[in-house]
Every structure is written in C-alpha cells, then in structure tokens.
Structure 1
Amino acid sequence: MSLIAILSEVLVVLDYVVKVVAVGTVPENRKPGSSSAWLLLILFLPIVGLPLFLLLGSPYVTGRRHRLQQQVNQVIAERVEDLPSLPPGLVADAHLASLLGLNRRLTSLPCVSGDHRRLLPDGEFVGALAAAVATAERSVHVEFYIAALDATTEPFFDALRDAVARGVTVRFLYDHLGSRKYPGHMRMNERLTADGVEWHRMMPIDPLRGRWRRPDLRNHRKLVVVDGRTGFVGSQNLIDQGYLVRKNVRAGRRWVDLNVELTGFVVQSLEAVFATDWLAETGETLTQVDAVGPEPSGGSTGAFQVVPSGPGFPTEPNLRMFSALIHAATRSVSVVSPYFIPDDGLEQAITTAAYRGVDVELFVSEKADQFMVHHAQRSYYTTLLDAGVRIHMLPFPAVLHSKVLVVDGERAVIGSSNMDMRSFSLDYEVSLLGLEPAFVGELTAKVSEYRERSRELTPAEWSQRPLRQRYLDNVMRLTAALQ
C-alpha cells in the first residue's frame, strides 16, 4: 500500500474520530441551539469548525476573571447581608420580592434607594457628563466599551483634564478590541496620559506582554461615577453618534441612545461594578468595593437594583431577570433592543406573554448596522408576529441602540445589555432595574416616542419578503447560536 493511500485512510479515520468525539462532547452544558450550530459546523467543515470550537467554543469561563468575580461577590454579600430586600418604606408583592431576591442571589447586589435625576438621550449625554465632572471633588470613574476622542466627546475630555488639575483622581477604562478600530483612539490615549488620567484597556489582547484572552469576550459596559454621588448608566458609547466610520457617514447613520443620571445610594452599586473591573485590569483594590452598605436613611424616594452580568456570572443574571419580568407581565411588555437574538427560554417568555393577552411590542432598527445580526434577528419575526407581538422598526438610516424593557408600566430596565445571546453569555454588561414611578413613567414616554418615529411591520408585509432574504435570515440564525 502506498504512502498516499495510508495517509488517506488515516485522515478518514481521524475525520470519523473527530466527529464521534464532537457528538459526545459539544452538547455538554450547552443549550440545544448552540450545540446544533457547533455540530453542524464541525461535521460539515471540520477544518474550520474544530479550530474555531477549540478557540471560542468552551461554555466554561473559569479563569482568573471568573475567580475574581466570585471573590468580589462574596465581599459584597458580607457587606450587605443586613440590608433588607427593599429600601425602608417600600412594599413589594410576592413576585417582585422573588425577582429582587433572584438578582441579589446571582450578583450579591441588593435593591437600594436612589433617585433618577433625568433621562439623557444621545444629544444630551456628553454635555451632562462634562457638567458632572466639573463638580467633582474626589474621584471620577469612567468605563466604556467604545471610547474615542472626537469633536463630540472633546468637551468631556476637557472636563477630565480640568478635574485632574484640581487634584481629582480620574480613572478610565475602555474595551481594547471594542475601541481600537475607531479614529481618534490613539489620540485619546496620548491625551489621557498627558492629562494625568489613570487609564487602562479592558480585556486586552497583547501577546507580546503576556496578555491574552478569548477574543470573543468583551466588556460592553457603559458607566460613569462622580464622587460616588452621581452615576450614569445606559447604552451610549463615548464617541460621535455616527461612530466616525466612513460608510456610516456616507449612509447618514446616527445611533439613537438612551442613558440615565442617578443619585443616591444606588450609585455605590455602580461603584462596585467599576471597582471590580478596575481590579481585574490593574490588580488594584479600590475602597468602593467595600463601600456598598449600610444604606443611609432618608433622602431618596426610589428603589433601584444594579444587575451586572457577563462571563464572570455563569448564571446569566440579565437573561433570568428579563425572562422573570416578562413571565410576570399582566398588561404590557415593551422591549427595545438593537440586537434581538433571544435564546429559546426568552423567546417563549415573550410569545407566551402575547398568547396570554399581554400587549407585547418589540422595537428594533429597520436595518441593523451589522449584516449578520440584521439577518439573524429577522429569523425570529415570524414566530413573534404569529403570537401577536407588534414589531416596530425605526426607519433607516437611524440605528436604534437603546436597551430598555418596560413591564406593566411599573417596572423598567435600562442599561448596556442587548436581548441577544452574546450579551447573555459573552459580554460583560450592566443593567439597572428601576421601580421609581417617575423613572418608569419617563421610560414609558420614551418608548411612545420611539413608537411614533417607527413603522410597524405587518404579517402581510413579512409574508411577502423575497426567498433570498428568508434563506439569509435562516443561515445567519445558525451563526448567532455559536456560543
């Protein structure tokens, strides 16, 4: 037998061995949809699928960051163990009490008092940040997935420079891969260094300095805390609304975002999230981790709970919170998400609510800014429309980037988390659950504004879409499940 024939037989045997092993190992601790997608890729394209699975496919994130998150959670849990489930004077029904307990059990952060000062749409956000930093006396903590120095964000960087000159400690975090591709990135680094800001990249990939991680993991959080008294959280990155990319400028794309400014005790929970990420990137422990609890009495009228999530939280706190809120809805559910790729459980929660007679509506962009995501999320529309979910699409070239959930006009969530599998499993996110009537009312009004600006996708229109689009939608749905 020739050498070529022997090698051919060895390759055939090896191919079967890989496939047999994959069938028995890929589904372990993995959702069925994800298992099927990985197996299809490995079985049909093993040369591509196997290396990708070995690099990105593990459902376990058990390295240093995971251990660090567990340690921080324990510290926070000990500090707040005497705090009640709700701030004094507020009463929760049985389901709400259960939900708040769920969030606390998974993240260690309790529901605490606080006040929302105002909602901040995209055009007002940077100015509000700069104004808050101008009042800083001790510290400014900044954390963004994407950050760049440009004409829009320069006033904020000027405020940071002036704060440092006054003796304020300014700490700045941004995601390495999330930011590096945008114009103004390197100038920003030079500016931060020159101005005396302490800055670090989050989730860096720098093999020459011994820094490596899974390239599919991101820190997608957006938050700012000033003096531990004023906090900002929401969907907006620290960059121009068009993201400075030439194709976006040509198309006239502008991102539509929403953020909230907070005061009160809840800001300490945001400090704890920042301090955890600062510890992960620098090894430096900030006292803010220890600052959560006890809660002061009086002053605030609202109740809020910060819900961090990400690979350090294998229980997927954001997904469980969204699902629990939707399952408990009795009147209305409004979901605003630029990227809507739910897992089976969340999809069933949404459609079941609609079948129960709850008014359910989904707000998305008419055309998402990412090709694969655009088609993957469209693959869910038939099931949603059949259940009676109303789908509102913000017309192109606007990109609806806000992340909001409002349930029964009584409970609302805002933050960085999309309703997609990446935000549930691979991205570090931060969400804010609010029970304050004024907060929920303003978010409800903002959702109404989105509704007025959008056009509704009807079942009749959807049934007439071209076959080519249906095919693309279904193929991209498989890629979305590669988690």
Structure 2
Amino acid sequence: MSGVEVLAVVLAAIDISFRLIALVIVPRNRRPQTSMAWLLAIFFIPFVAFFAFLAFGSHRLSPTRRRKQETTNRILEVEQRHIPDSIRVAPAELELASGDTSRSGRKTQENNNTRLPLLGQTTRLIAPLVQLNERLGQMAMVRGNRVTLHSDYQATLDDMIADIDRAQRTVHVLFYIMSVDEVTEGFFASLARAKKRGVEVRVLFDQVATARIPGSRALRRRLRAAGVDYRAMLPFQPWRGVYQRPDLRNHRKLLVIDTEVAYTGSQNIIEPGYRRRGSKGLHWSDLMARVEGPLVHSLEALFVTDWYQETDTILETPELTAEPGEDSPAINSAEDTWAQVVPSGPAFEGENNLRLFNGLMYQARKRIVIVSPYLVPDDSMRYAITSAALSGVRVDVYVSAVGDQPLVFYAQHSYYGELLRAGVHIWLYPAPTVLHSKFIVVDGEVAVMGTSNLDMRSFTLNLELSVLLIGQDIITRLESLAENYREASTELTTDKWNQRGQLTRFVEGLARLTATVQ
C-alpha cells in the first residue's frame, strides 16, 4: 500500500471517528434543533465543524464561575429570607386575590397597607411563575416600588447624570457596551465628580462587546484618570489560562445609586448610532426604567454577584429592613408596582428568562404584546407564541423593519411565515430606527421588561436581567408605548410576505440553521 493510500485510509478513519464521536457527544443536554444543526455541520464539513464545536459547543461558564454563582445563590437565598413580610409578595397573595369593586369598576385589595388593582385572572395565574422565578434566581417579588419609564435616549442619560450627581455613598455601573463620545461625555464626567466627592464608584462593562466599539481604550483611560474601580466582564484571555466560550457575554444594563435609585432596560452607554461607520444612518430607540423602592435592593444584589465574579470580592450593601410606610415612593398609590428581578444566563442551570416568557404566554387569555429587536425563538417559544394566537389570543409583535446584524435579521425573518399563518400580527417599525426596546405585556395585567431579547442567544449564552411587573400604572404606560409603536409602524401581511424571492428564502433558511448552532 502506497503512502498516499495509507494517508487516505487514516483520513477516512479520522473522518468516521469524528462523526461517530459527534453522534455520542453533541446531543447531550442540548435542544434537538441545536444538536441537529451541529451534526449537519459536522457531517458536511467534519474537520472544521468538529473543532468549531470544541470551541463553541458548550454554553456553560467555567467551573470557577459556576462555583462562584453557587456561592452567591446561597448568599442571596439567606438575604431573601430576611425581607419583611410587609414588603415581600408571597405567591399565595396572587393566587387568593379577591376584593371589592371600586368606583372605577376595577377590583382592589387591601393587604399590608398596600392597595393593588386586581387586574384579573391572569394576575392570579402567574403565582406559580413568581415562585419558579424565586427558586431559579433567588429573588423575591417585592411591593412598594415606583417605576418610571424613559424612552428618550438623551433624556435618559440626563436623568442618570442628575442622580449620579446626588450620590453620597455608592455608584454601581454595569453595561454591556460603554463608550466615551459626544453623547455620553456628561455621564463619565458625573462619575468623575462623584469619585472626587468621595463616593465609591464601581464600573463593569462587557469586554468583547465594548472592545468592538472604536475608542474602547479611551474608555479605560478615562476611568483610570478619574480613579474609578472598573473591570471588563467575562474576559477572553486564553494566553493567561482564562478560557471559556468567547461568545458567552454579560448583556445586562444596570445603574444603582446609593441603593436608593436604579436604572435598567435596553439602553447602553453609547451614542444612539453606536459609532458605526456605513450603518446607513441607523439609530437605536431604547427603553429604560428608573426604579425607587425595595426592588433597588434586588438590582443591587445582582450587581454584587457580577462584581464578585470579576473581583472575588463580595460587596456589603444596606439591608432591606425598613417596612414600607406612608413615605414610601409608591405605597398606597396607583404607582405601586409589585416587581421581581429575574436573572438568567449560562451561570444558571435553567434558562430562567425563557421559562418566564413561555409561562406568561401560556397564561394569556386575551392579548400578548411583544416588543423585541431580535426575535429568533427556540421551538418552545415558537409553540408558545403560535399556540396563543391559534387559541384566539391576539398577539402583536413589534420588530424593526431594518436590521443591524444581517445573519440575525434573516434568521428572524425565517419565522415570520409561521407566525403569520398562526394569526400573529407583525408590526415593522420604520428605518432607520432600530427598535431596541424589550418588553412583553400580557392581558393588560402583567409585564416583563429588561435586557433580554427573544432569541436563543439571550436564552442560553448571555447573562440577562429581566423584571416581572404587576401594577396598574406601569402596565398602562407600557401599553401606551406599544400603541405609539403601532402608530409609527406598518403591519406585515401574508400577501406581502409571500412576494419575497427564492434567493431571499434560501438565505433565511441558511441563517436560521446557523442561529440554532448555539
């Protein structure tokens, strides 16, 4: 046998070995659709795909980070036990909700000095979800919160700056992307002023996401010059022996000031065009929530866990001991919002955000409003959305008519046909705006907003922050915002959708296949 023949036999044996090994390893603890996508890739391009699987096939964080998460979970569990009963909302309160009809015709409930509108059956049905969230994410639902929505990009930054300038003890900053530019200059100046006053200023930003932005080194120089303690989250540094899948990212956005005021939502600290050259004038439209009340303690706890992951230091924060009274920001008013932080990501065993979203959709009885810049659902969410629509629930989905990430954009489009056939109403927000807000409203009674997209990346690969919300005032404002989106949007019809060409359909199918390789 010649050397060429021997080499051919060896290569064939390796090829077969790759395929056999893949059949054993790939399907373990993965969605069937994800396993199938990886197996197809390995069977068609075995050598390249096999090594790609070794680099990107696991969605788990490193063992060290998982052990840290277990530590913080135990700490959070102990802290949650000490939340006063008058602040904690027990799931039983939702299950047993009943009350008299007020003059306005809406039911109300007297409980622990809190008046909360009983908004209907859906509110009661989510009690098991509240309990599930607490079990998975260690965060309780709390009352006595005032939640204010901010949808103007610059005004949101201005309000953040004003609150930072009032800080006396701590300013904790955590954002997926941060950039020093003409729009955010005032934000970083306020951090420097706070530090100069003696305030403890700590900053976290995602290493890879921020490094992709022009001028990321200027950010580090600016923070160092101000004396701010900062860390890049989930650093990818294999040359230092630090390795995990490089696209596991911390996608959270969070600002906490003196454990009294917090902001969270979809907006990053960067100018609204994301400093992109050749982006055809795209700009981002975002939604942030300003929070006062006990929920701030839960958000602060989440910052503490992420700071511990990067520094090995567990920060001490004020205990939530004072019971809400007449001077609480929202107590005894229509503004009172019951809220629960739901952290999620590869640090957790379960896909906390996906379980929450699906649970809400299956409990819907009348209407679901979905606003998301990236809608690439896994099979479970696809069934949840279409099942709701097919059962008579009106489902309105708001997405952008233009995309900033072509592969994701085409993958998202590949689902439109099935959604339309099920009766889902798809609204396209006009270019050049990227509608980047992220929230869901169910039956005009319950909502969830935060940083999570409705795509497989946010379910499995990204650390995300979602907030479950119950309250008349906040729900009304979210519905009003969705109505504003509708007035500016164009509805996608089945006839219009069917007019796209064969090449477009092929690209959509290919993009959809790659999207499942998570």
State the distance in 1 between where 2:169 and 2:82 align. 28
Deviation per CA, 1:220-266: give whole Å up to 9, x if none.
Answer: 00000000000000001100000111112xx1111011000000000
What is the match of residue 267 of structure 1?
Answer: 296
Please, which of 375, 398, 404 is the counterpart of residue 433 of structure 2?
A: 398
- Check whether the contact 1:80–1:292 (CA below 8 A) recurs between aligned residues: no
Is 1:173 the counterpart of 2:212? The answer is: no
1:468 and 2:503 correspond:
yes
CA gap 1:59/1:174 in 2 versus in 1, 3 angstroms: closer
- Which stretch of the first structure deviates more once superposed, 380-389 or 55-64? 55-64
Structure 2 Cα separation of the partners of residues 461 and 114 of structure 1: 47
Question: CA separation in 2, counterparts of 1:168 and 1:221?
Answer: 23
Contact preservation (8 Å) 2:147, 2:337:
no
1:144 to 175, 185, 201: 175
1:182 match: secondary structure: coil
What do the CA deviations read for 1:69-94 (whole angstroms, capped 9, x no partner)? 12211111122235556174467954
> Secondary structure of the residue that 2:126 maps to in structure 1?
helix
In 2, the alpha carbon distance for the partners of 1:326 and 1:308 equals 19
Q: How does 1:216-231 map to 2 (within 5 A)?
A: 216-231=247-262
136 and 293 in structure 1: CA distance in 2 versus 1, 3 angstrom threshold: closer
- Measure, in 2, the Cα distance between the counterparts of 1:132 and 1:82: 28
Question: Offset of 1:314 from its aligned partner?
Answer: 2.1
Q: How do 1:70-219 residues align onto structure 2 when only pairs under 5 Å count?
A: 70-81=70-81, 83=83, 86=89, 88=112, 89=114, 94-121=124-151, 122-219=153-250
How far apart are residue 136 of structure 1 and its match?
0.2
Q: Which residue of 1 aligns with 2:17?
A: 17
Deviation, 1:402, is 0.8
Secondary structure at the residue paired with 2:364? coil
Instruction: Please report the RMSD computed on the Cα atoms of aligned residues, expressed in angstroms.
Output: 1.5
Q: Identify which range, 176-185 or 410-419, moves more after superposition.
A: 176-185
Please report how far the alpha carbon of residue 325 of structure 1 lies from its aligned counterpart in structure 2 after TM superposition: 0.5
Amino acid at match of 1:277: D
Residues 125-146 of structure 1: CA deviation (Å, up to 9, x unaligned): 1111101101000000000000
How far 1:55 sits from its partner (Å)?
0.7
Q: Deviations over 1:14-38 (max 9, x none)?
A: 2112112211221111101101100
> Residues of 1 paired with 2:404 and 2:296: CA distance?
32
The answer to whether the 8 Å contact 2:157/2:184 transfers is yes
Give the SS at the match of 2:278.
helix
Alignment length (residue pairs): 479
Cα distance in 1, alignment partners of residues 321 and 24 from structure 2: 49
The superposition leaves residues 162-181 of structure 1 with CA deviations (integer Å, 9 ceiling, x where unpaired) of 11111101000000000012
Counterpart pick for 1:297 among 301, 324, 333: 324
Return the offset for 1:284: 1.1
Letter of the structure 2 residue corresponding to residue 401 of structure 1? H
- Is the contact between residue 15 and residue 47 of structure 2 (CA under 8 Å) also seen in structure 1? no
Give the alignment's TM-score, normalised by structure 2.
Answer: 0.90
Residue of structure 2 in register with 1:353 after alignment = 388
Residue-by-residue CA offset, 1:358-416 (whole Å, 9 max, x unaligned) = 11011111121101000001010111000000000111211111111111111111111
Query: Is contact 1:30-1:59 (8 Å) kept?
Result: no
Equivalent residue letter for 2:207 = H
Q: Matched residues in 2 for 1:414 and 1:389: separation?
A: 21
Q: Could you report, residue by residue, the CA deviation over 1:444-471 in whole angstroms, capped at 9, with x for unpaired residues?
A: 1111111111111000100111111100
Q: Which runs of 5+ in 2 are unaligned?
A: 91-111
SS class of match (1:430): strand
Could you tell me which amino acid in structure 1 is paired with residue 225 of structure 2?
A: A
Instruction: Say which SS state the counterpart of residue 246 (structure 1) adopts.
Output: coil
TM-score normalised by L of structure 1? 0.96
Q: Alignment partner for residue 424 of structure 2, among 389, 395, 417? A: 389
C-alpha deviation, 1:10, in angstroms: 1.3
User: Does the CA contact (< 8 Å) of 1:148 and 1:184 recur in 2?
Assistant: yes
2:274 counterpart of 1:239: no
Q: Indicate how the Cα distance of structure 1 residues 103 and 292 shifts in structure 2: closer, same or farther if over 3 A, else same.
A: farther
Q: What displacement does 1:3 show?
A: 1.4
CA deviation after TM superposition for structure 1 residue 61, in Å: 3.8
Q: Give the partner amino acid of 1:449.
A: N
Distance in 1 of aligned mates of 2:256 and 2:183: 20
SS of 1:247's equivalent in the other structure is: coil
Give the partner amino acid of 1:219. N
Query: In 2, Cα distance between the equivalents of 1:204 and 1:49?
Result: 25
Letter in 1 for 2:323: P
Where does residue 480 of structure 1 map in the other structure? Answer: 515
Give 1:124 deviation, angstroms.
Answer: 1.6
Distance 1:222 1:451 in 2: 26
Q: 1:475 to 1:442 in 2, by over 3 A?
A: same
Q: CA deviation at 1:188?
A: 1.5
Which amino acid in structure 2 is aligned with residue 233 of structure 1?
T
Give 1:116 deviation, angstroms: 3.2
Deviates more, 1:86-95 or 1:304-313: 86-95
- Match of residue 6 from structure 1: 6
1:333 aligned partner:
368
CA contact (8 A) 1:76 1:292 kept: no
Task: State the partner residue of 2:107.
Answer: none
Preserved CA contact (<8 Å) 2:58 2:245 = no
Contact 1:235 1:415 in 2 (8 A): yes
Does the Cα contact within 8 Å between 1:150 and 1:239 map onto a contact in 2? yes
Write the distance in 2 (CA, Å) between the matches of 1:15 and 1:295. Answer: 65
Provide the residue aligned with 2:65 in structure 1: 65
The aligned residue for residue 45 of structure 2 is 45
The aligned residue for residue 426 of structure 1 is 461
* Alignment partner of 1:278 is 2:313: no
In structure 2, distance between residues paired with 1:333 and 1:95: 15
Work out whether residues 314 and 425 of structure 1, in 8 Å CA contact, stay in contact via their aligned partners in 2. no
1:60/1:146 CA distance change after superposition, 3 Å: closer
Aligned to 1:254: 283
CA offset at residue 297 of structure 1?
Answer: 2.8
Once residues 54 and 421 of structure 2 are traced to their aligned partners in structure 1, the CA distance between those partners, rounded to angstroms, is: 38
What is the CA distance between 1:348 and its match in structure 2?
0.5
Q: Which runs of 5+ in 1 are unaligned?
A: none
Q: Do the aligned partners of 1:80 and 1:294 also contact (CA within 8 Å) in 2?
A: no
Is the contact made by 1:61 and 1:312 (CA closer than 8 Å) also made in structure 2? yes
Equivalent pair of 2:62/2:244 in contact (CA under 8 Å): no
Could you say what secondary structure the match of 1:150 adopts?
A: coil
Partner Cα separation in structure 2 for residue 47 and residue 18 of structure 1: 8
